[in-house]
Amino acid sequence: MPARIEPIADRYSAWRLLKEGISGNRGWKQAWRKPEPKARYDVVIIGGGGHGLATAHYLANVHGITNVAVVQKGPIGLGNGGRNTTIVRSNYLLPSNTRFYEYSLKLWEGLEQDLNYNVMVSQRGQLSLFHSDSERDAAVRRGNSMRIQGVDAVLVDGEAVRAMLPFLAMDNPMFPILGGLLQPRGGTARHDAVIWGFARAADRRGVDILEHCEVTGIRRDGGRVVGVETTRGFIGARKVGIAVAGNTSRVAAMAGLRLPVESHLLQAFVSEAIKPLINCVISFGAGHFYISQTDRGGLIFGGDLDGYNSYSQRGNLPLVERLMGVGVSMIPALSRLRVLRQWAGIADMTMDGSPFICRTLIEGLYLNGGWCYGGFKATPASGWCFAYTIAKDEPHPFNADLTIDRFLEGRMIDERGAGPNPWAQ
């Protein structure tokens, strides 16, 4: 057994930063260890992204299950956890989603102190703009749904939007900006830091993070899971959780599961760094475009899927042209700014646009995926609920509706009403 690592000895603080700085920064420890796999664990989490690491953290820190390994094909946090547009919010319409994402937002609000890691949760507000009377009514329905469930939401009229964001083009002939729904507690967090913070916190409680350890099979004994085959050998486990959004179909197939999921490309972009221009997160109903500005100054933005199944992590130009067209139409001042970098992630798109955190028909095998666009903001609650589901072998009320059999039962959670068309969700 590796020695239990004392959480206090390596605390981060301003005082520590000063002390280490004076002494040449020699005293910092690895943010997470690089251990060898043990023969068996109580729980193996497949997937060292935000959700897998958060699950390990909450297993160890809430449920006291510390004999846990997180296995990851390459280095941790380079999938969707490191490729998203960093938005946190809980402005959902349907109660199953609202209560889950609101719990996530509450966890975000205390995450720095929980993890002793500054993940830079910044609640500068999230504003969803609407362009027609019917979009306004839909926004009002959503905002009222949030308020009834105790979530913050404010309706902002066109004049107030103009005052808040004087650079918007309010009077596009087809997409006039009539107003917006503001969630003041929405905002952003530093995506890489979330990965590292969860990894460090889990590691300090004894969780083994096994990088460069690709799962090649899920071993079963009859109806129950006994462990995972990996490129670093067989690892036994009483319980196995899959949290590999983007590749859920492939890993689940190792256990013989076929899912209502398609993998799709989602592109994102960052501009050169500029002095503060956009304070809150803005999303537009016109053509689906959202934008925020990082603390470093880059404008980070994205929009729709490329629209066809893909595992390539590289996007194409039609989406780019369309997205830039929306961006400049809504914020004409973007025109002369330069986009610095483009990248793409693989989104697990489900048939109703909502995720799943659930047990499977195989005993000891648990599934977390289908995050569509929403995975980053879900990270803490996803880990929290998945840990609960694994530890107790039953869902928490927050994820009780987020099952896969909802499709067979007709209990879809379809926020957009787009139906079983993952490319349109």
Partner 1 sequence: MSVHRLSQGGHINRSQRLTFHFDGRRFFGHPGDTLASALLASGVRLVGRSFKYHRPRGIMTAGPDEPSALVELRERSRTEPNTKMTDVELYEGLQAWSQNRWPSLKFDLMAVNGLAGNIISAGFYYKTFMWPASFWEKLYEPLIRHAAGLGRATCLPDPDHYEAVHAHCDVLVVGSGPAGLAAARVAGEVGARVILCERDFLIGGGLLLDPAQESWRKEMIATLQGIRDVQILPRTNIFGYYDHNLLGGVEQVGDHVAEPHPHEVRQRYRTFRAGQVVLATGASERLIAFRGNDRPGVMMAGAALTYVRRFGVAPGKRAVVFTNNDSAYATALALAEAGLDGVVLADFRRENRLAAELRAHGVDVRFGIEVSDFGKDRVTLRTPSGGGDNVAADLLCISGGWNPNVHLASQSGARLSWDATLSSFVPGAPVQAERSAGAARGIVGIGEAARDGLAAGLAAANALGLGGGDIDFPLPAPEGPCAPLEPLWEVKSSGKAFVDLQHDVTVNDIRLAHREGFSHIEHAKRYTTHNMATDQGKLGGLVGAAILAEARGETLEKVGLPTFRPYTKPVAIGALAGGTTGERFQPIRRTALHGWHLRHGAVMRPMGAWLRPSYYPKAEETAWDSVSREARGVRQSVGICDMSTLGKIDLQGPDAATLLDRLYINSFSTLAVGQCRYGLMLREDGIAFDDGTASRLREDHFLITTTTANAAPVLEHMEFYAQTVWPELDVQLCSVTDQWAQIAVAGPRSRVTLAKVVEGLDLWAFRFLSVGEGHMAGIPLRVFRISFSGELAYEVAVPSRHAEIVWRAILAAGQEFGIVPYGLETMDLMRIEKGHLAASELNGQATAADLGVGRMMKKTGDFVGRVLSARPALADPGRPRLVGIRPIDSGKRLRGGAHLVSKPGSGRSLGWITSVTRSIELGQWIGLAMLENGEAMSGKTVHAVSPLHDEAIEVVVSSPHHVDPENVRVRN
Partner 2 sequence: MLLIPCPYCGARPQDEFHYRGDATVKRPAPDAGLQALYDFVYTRTNPRGWHLEWWHHYAGCRQWVKVERNTLTHEIRTAVGPAEDTPQLSA
Site stretch for partner 1 (CB under 8 A), options 49-57, 115-123, 242-250, 387-395: 115-123
Site stretch for partner 1 (CB under 8 A), options 144-152, 240-248, 356-364, 377-385: 144-152
Q: Is 343 in the site for partner 2 (CB under 8 A)?
A: no
Q: Is 308 in the site for partner 1 (CB under 8 A)?
A: no
Measured from the Cβ of residue 343, the count of other Cβ atoms closer than 10 Å reads 15
Which residue number, 287 or 420, has a Cβ lying nearer to partner 2?
A: 420
Beta-ladder partners of 300: 270, 292
Q: Is 247 in the site for partner 2 (CB under 8 A)?
A: yes
**166 three-state secondary structure:** coil
Q: Is 358 in the site for partner 1 (CB under 8 A)?
A: no
> Please, what is the minimum distance in Å from the beta carbon of residue 54 to partner 1?
17
> Please, what is the minimum distance in Å from the beta carbon of residue 324 to partner 2?
15
Smallest Cα–Cα separation from 85: which of 258, 347, 320, 302?
302
Q: Is 245 in the site for partner 2 (CB under 8 A)?
A: no
Tokens of 93: 């319409």
- Beta strands 215-221; 224-230: pairing state: antiparallel
Q: Is 8 in the site for partner 1 (CB under 8 A)?
A: no
Pinpoint the alpha helices (H) of 179-238.
191-204
CA 322, CA 330: separation in Å to the nearest integer? 12
**39 three-state secondary structure:** coil
Q: Which does 354 bind (CB under 5 to 8 A by kind): partner 2, partner 1, none?
A: none
Q: Which does 194 bind (CB under 5 to 8 A by kind): partner 1, partner 2, none?
A: none
Angular region, 179: left φ>0, alpha ψ -120 to 50, beta rest: left
3-state secondary structure 59-107: HHHCCCCCCEEEECCCCCCCCHHHCCCCEECCCCCCHHHHHHHHHHHHH
Q: Is 407 in the site for partner 2 (CB under 8 A)?
A: yes
Site stretch for partner 1 (CB under 8 A), options 35-43, 104-112, 231-239, 359-367: 104-112
Q: Which does 193 bind (CB under 5 to 8 A by kind): partner 1, partner 2, none?
A: partner 1
**What letter does residue 397 receive in the DSSP assignment?**
G
Q: Is 309 in the site for partner 2 (CB under 8 A)?
A: yes
Identify the residue among 311, 325, 335, 411 touching partner 2 (CB under 8 A): 311
> Please, what is the minimum distance in Å from the beta carbon of residue 366 to partner 2?
20
Instruction: Say how many Å lie between the first and final Cα of the chain, rounded.
Output: 46
- The residues that touch partner 2, with contacts defined as CB under 8 A, are 247, 249-250, 253, 258-263, 307-312, 316-318, 351, 407-408, 420-423
